[in-house]
Amino acid sequence: MKIESVYGAILVAIYALQRKFRVHYRNLAAYLYIADRIVGLGVIKKVFLVPGGAESLFINGLLMLLYAHGYVLIDRGEITLTKQGKELVKEILRNTLISNFYKGLKA
């Protein structure tokens, strides 16, 4: 799996979760780890379980890069998407739906 796909997965997860919940590092790491295991990708290799949730240096590092590029805001552990981040998520979802549609036509 390409690193761009992992960035996209993180952004889409934040987008989906922030509609109803406050997204924190540890909650996000737990959701992404569980999703990674269900799908069977094996991208997230190490997660430390702590009383407040899960801790992943890999996910934290990727979040810092997303923050540096202006896609997310991080305030006291709470993560929100910026306008630029929301636009990127919509583009990712749109491209995924279109490519899956064309794959379905070819099958």
CATH of the domain at 65: 1.10.10.10
Mean pLDDT in residue range 81-86:
95
With 70 as the cut, is the pLDDT of residue 3 above it?
A: no
Distances (CA, A) of 91 to 2, 49, 61, 82, 98: 17, 33, 23, 14, 11
With 80 as the cut, is the pLDDT of residue 4 above it?
A: no
- Say if CB 58 and CB 45 are below 8 A apart: yes
pLDDT tens sequence across 16-58: 999 899 999 889 999 998 888 898 888 888 889 888 888 999 9
**Total domain count for the chain?**
1
pTM more than 0.95: no
Half-sphere exposure of 78 toward its Cβ, with a 13 Å CA cutoff?
Answer: 6
Rounded to the nearest 10 degrees, the angle between the axes of helix 57-68 and helix 3-17 is: 80
Neighbours of 23 (CB within 10 A): 23
**Residue 87 sits in which domain range?**
3-106
